[in-house]
Structure 1
Amino acid sequence: MPRQRLASRILLISPSNRMLLFKILYRTGALAGISYWATPGGKLWAKESYEAAAIRELYEETGIEVQSVGQCLAHKEFPWVMPDGELVLAVEHYFVVRAHDVQLSNASWSDKEREVICEVRWWSEEELAACREPVFPPELSSLFAQALTRNLHLT
């Protein structure tokens, strides 16, 4: 049984109903040459809740501060290969946050984030549905549609 990697992911929705995604591109290591689009988010620290991790990761990766992220929209579990080649069981909770504007900051990015994030883009539902590049999770279009029907938490 692989170890579990607990993580929080954020569906950040703009005032014009676009969702923020990062393009991840691995240039070295076991995943060299692999790229995909994904939401902001990351692993939980020791004894950190999914909600606290979502708040922290949102700030670290976008500069947006929130006090809460509301209820979990989705829970996903799937096998995942880490950059060092380790196979883990990814256990992810997805939260929805509505941003007041689209101004972002990468000032708190880690060195690893600076190394692998090669593009940051706001996507419409239609653009995401038409995307031919890998997107994680694969059902992100469906989660995006669900997020837009929810009473979203405002930043």
Structure 2
Amino acid sequence: MTERVVRATSRLLVVDEHDRVLLMDTVAPHTGRPTRWITPGGGVDPGEDHRQAAIRELFEETGQVITDPGPVVRVDDFETPWDEADHTHGHAEFFVVRLPHFEVVDAHWTDEERTDIVASRWWTADELESTDEPVEPTDLAALVRSVLDS
């Protein structure tokens, strides 16, 4: 039996003034190295809480500085489907940050981010609903619509 290892992450729904959400196309830790579109964010470091991790991750991955990621709008607990991951389960807390449109800056990316992030793009909810490209979580379009409607 495999030991249960949970990775805590903070994810950010970054929404611009045109109601588009920023996603990163990243390489999954899986045989064949498939990519999927995910929100900015990442692991909660030792000594951090989810809010602190959200602030740090947004800066690292985009160059944007915030002081408050707002309230948690969703919590996901899931099994990790990737065969090369260093964890068996995930716990993700999602925050919403509204910012004016910007271009992603990679100046603060970690070595791992430089390897794993393939591209970034702003998406509308309609584009998310109609894409054939892998998006995580799979119901991201519905989550974006619920955030936009609130």
Q: What TM-score, normalized by structure 1, do the two folds share?
A: 0.88
Q: Which residue of 2 aligns with 1:31?
A: 31
The 5 Å alignment of 1:130-141 reads: 130-141=130-141
Contact 1:11 1:96 in 2 (8 A): yes
Give the drift of 1:33. Answer: 2.8
Runs of 4+ in structure 1 off by over 2 angstroms are 29-33, 81-87
Specify the SS of the correspondent of 1:31. Answer: coil
How many Å apart are 1:89 and its aligned residue? 1.1
TM-score normalised per structure 2: 0.91
Query: Distance between the aligned counterparts of 1:61 and 1:101, measured in 2?
Result: 15
Look up the match of 1:8. Answer: 10
Distance of 1:79 and 1:118 partners within structure 2: 24
Q: Secondary structure at the match of 2:80?
A: strand
**Aligned partners of 2:10 and 2:49: how far apart in 1?**
9
Q: What do residues 49-105 of structure 1 show as CA deviations (whole Å, max 9, x unaligned)?
A: 111100110010001101101110000000114573444210000000011222321
User: 2:119 — aligned with what?
Assistant: 119
> 1:1-155 maps to which residues of 2 (within 5 A)?
1-25=3-27, 30-81=30-81, 84-150=84-150
CA distance in 1, matches of 2:32, 2:53: 27
CA distance in 2, matches of 1:56, 1:30: 26
Looking at structure 1, the residues matched to 31 and 18 of structure 2 have their Cα atoms a distance apart, in angstroms, of: 34
Structure 2: distance between partners of 1:21 and 1:148? 16
AA at the equivalent of 1:16:
H
Q: Percent identity?
A: 32
User: Which whole-Å CA distance do the structure 2 matches of 1:70 and 1:42 have between them?
Assistant: 17
**Runs (5+) with no aligned partner, structure 2:** none
2-side partners of 1:41 and 1:70: how far apart?
14
Unaligned runs of 5+ in 1: 151-155
Q: Say what the alpha-carbon RMSD is for the aligned residues.
A: 1.7
> Number of paired residues?
148
